[in-house]
């Protein structure tokens, strides 16, 4: 039974790859299939140079993204990651990830994000730095039936 589930997952993954290749050859070569909308906002810089950046991931149902941490070494490399940089080097960046929901597919269990997910980061800027911040969000999405898309990266800028 486990072998049948694994073969079904491989078949679905191959079908998804064939569909994606077909869409690319139909003139959508620059657009990867995505099921997540990512936005970011920044709060005001306080007197000590601290600023909060909030990243919102809106994940289309029934898709999910791997949480951070995933709780499974086999998928840890595709966990959701937020990075924030600026023109001037930031003195400190502390990203806080929400806990994911525990999911199981076959023999594998892992933490995943579904629906609306809020990730916050507290950054400390160099004295006098008020320039825009670059926000990078890397994630990998999967469908509960075992189809996973290649990892994606969304780059945003906040002020």
Count the neighbouring beta carbons within 10 Å of the beta carbon of residue 6.
13
Give pLDDT, residue 105. 85
- pTM of the predicted protein model: 0.79
Residue 16 has pLDDT above 70, yes or no: no
Residue 146: band (very low, low, confident or very high) from pLDDT cuts 50, 70, 90: confident
Give pLDDT, residue 94. 98
Q: What are phi and psi of 24, to 5 degrees?
A: -65, -40
Residue 11: band (very low, low, confident or very high) from pLDDT cuts 50, 70, 90: very low
d(CA 130, CA 135): 15
Give me 66's structure tokens.
């791997």
Q: Where are the beta strands (DSSP E) in 97-139?
A: 101-105, 108-113, 116-124, 133-139
Give me 147's structure tokens.
């189809």
Give pLDDT, residue 57. 98
Structure letter (DSSP) for residue 44: -
Structure letter (DSSP) for residue 148: B
d(CA 144, CA 107): 14
């Amino acid at each position: 039974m486990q072998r049948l589930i694994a073969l079904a997952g491989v078949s679905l993954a191959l079908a998804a790859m064939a569909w994606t290749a077909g869409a690319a050859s139909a003139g959508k070569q620059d657009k990867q299939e995505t099921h997540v909308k990512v936005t970011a906002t920044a709060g005001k810089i306080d007197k000590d140079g601290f600023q909060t950046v909030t990243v919102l991931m809106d994940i289309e149902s029934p898709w999910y993204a791997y949480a951070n941490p995933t709780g499974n070494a086999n998928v840890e490399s595709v966990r959701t990651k937020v990075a924030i940089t600026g023109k001037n080097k930031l003195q400190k960046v502390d990203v806080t990830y929400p806990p994911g929901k525990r999911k199981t597919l076959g023999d594998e269990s892992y933490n995943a994000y579904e629906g609306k997910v809020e990730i916050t980061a507290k950054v400390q800027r160099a004295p006098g730095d008020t320039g825009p911040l670059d926000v990078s969000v890397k994630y990998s999405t999967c469908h509960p039936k075992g189809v996973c898309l290649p990892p994606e990266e969304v780059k945003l800028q906040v002020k």
